[in-house]
């Protein structure tokens, strides 16, 4: 006689996959719509969707209560270029929201080994503003976005970076030793955001926060860059909390549950 638990498990999996296939065919859908299209009861549909949401495969819009596939499932089928495009699409509204709130240039940055690479930017409307060309590469240890990402790498990876010290000084403020950098990364992990206080370029300040994917690994960073004097006038803690909040929202949309 077949094991009832095995049958039940296979049936639940089949039903869950049916829900994913249904959601894959549309931008978003409500509970009743999904239940009707898949032929499942509403209570069963709700239970399965709740499980998929908890696992990060499906996202529920808290405002509309409608469901859509998360970026976690997209990440299974795409390469680095497609993941970057998806990251840019997800992050863009947040870049614009941060810029609109404080009118400072906002950036989306990814990490390639120990180099921070700019992949998107929303410029400030101010006469004096910061601009970095898309595709520009800068040393991660000397930038806020870079340090925000380095803080989420394992020690076995960081040891490779330590082997390159002393790190070349870009300005008198650049961190050049692994002891000082590690202490700074500890502060980043503790408060959730990083600061570049004229460490890459004199007169320029930057605040950045990490973006994590569904697996809790670093996906990129959101940052604000401005003249250092203006950054201090606004206040780095306020800017740090702002970028951290939006970076966390992007992470959540990528399937991160942390």
Contact 122, 183 (CB under 8 A): no
pLDDT (tens digit per residue) in 44-57: 999 999 998 888 78
Model confidence band, residue 129 (pLDDT cutoffs 50, 70, 90): low
* Choice among 18-32, 138-152, 163-177, 241-255 with the minimum mean pLDDT: 18-32
Query: What pLDDT is attached to residue 110?
Result: 93
pLDDT at 141: 96
| pLDDT confidence tier of residue 5, bands split at 50, 70 and 90 | very low
Q: What is the DSSP string of 138-206?
A: EEGGGSHHHHHHHTTS-HHHHHHHHTTPSPPPSSTT---SHHHHHHHHHHHHHHS-EEEESSSSTTEEE
Percent of the chain with pLDDT over 70: 91
Rounded Cα–Cα distance for residues 219 and 130 (Å): 24
pLDDT score for 2: 41
The pLDDT, as a whole number, for residue 9 is 55
| Nearest CA among 152, 90, 78, 143 for reference residue 116 | 143
Cis check for the bond before 91: say yes or no (omega within 30 of 0).
no
Residue-level pLDDT at 3: 44
Going 230 to 231 to 232 to 233, the CA torsion angle's sign is positive
Q: Given this model, what pLDDT does residue 71 score?
A: 66
Q: Kindly state the average pLDDT of the residues 18-34.
A: 87
Predicted confidence at residue 76, as pLDDT, reads: 61
- Give the mean pLDDT of the chain: 87
Give the three-class secondary structure for 128. Answer: coil
What confidence tens digit (pLDDT) does each residue in 164-192 have? 999 999 999 999 999 999 999 999 999 99
The model's pTM is 0.69
The reported pLDDT for the residue numbered 144 is 96
Runs of H (alpha helix) within the chain: 4-24, 31-38, 42-55, 71-74, 80-102, 144-150, 155-162, 178-191, 228-234, 236-253
């Amino acid at each position: 006689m077949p094991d009832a638990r095995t049958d039940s498990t296979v049936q639940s999996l089949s039903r869950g996959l049916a829900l994913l296939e249904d959601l894959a065919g549309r931008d978003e859908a409500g509970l009743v719509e999904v239940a009707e299209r898949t032929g499942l009861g509403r209570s069963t549909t709700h239970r399965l969707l709740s499980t998929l949401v908890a696992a990060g495969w499906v996202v529920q819009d808290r405002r509309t209560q409608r469901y859509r596939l998360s970026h976690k499932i997209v990440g299974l089928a795409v390469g680095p270029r497609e993941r970057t495009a998806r990251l840019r699409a997800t992050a863009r509204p947040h870049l614009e929201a941060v810029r609109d709130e404080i009118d400072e240039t906002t950036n989306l940055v990814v990490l390639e080994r120990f180099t921070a690479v700019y992949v998107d930017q929303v410029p400030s409307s101010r006469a004096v503003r910061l601009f970095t060309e898309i595709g520009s590469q800068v040393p991660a240890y000397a930038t806020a976005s870079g340090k925000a990402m380095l803080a989420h790498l394992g020690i076995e990876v960081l040891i490779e970076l330590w082997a390159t010290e002393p790190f070349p000084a870009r300005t008198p403020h650049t961190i050049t030793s692994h002891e000082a950098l590690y202490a700074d990364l500890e502060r980043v992990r503790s408060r959730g955001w990083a600061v570049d206080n004229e460490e890459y370029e004199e007169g320029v300040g930057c605040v950045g926060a990490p973006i994590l994917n569904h697996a809790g690994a670093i996906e990129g960073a959101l940052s604000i860059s401005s003249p250092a004097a203006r950054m201090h006038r606004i206040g780095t803690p306020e800017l740090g909390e702002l970028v951290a909040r939006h970076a966390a929202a992007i992470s959540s949309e990528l399937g991160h549950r942390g």
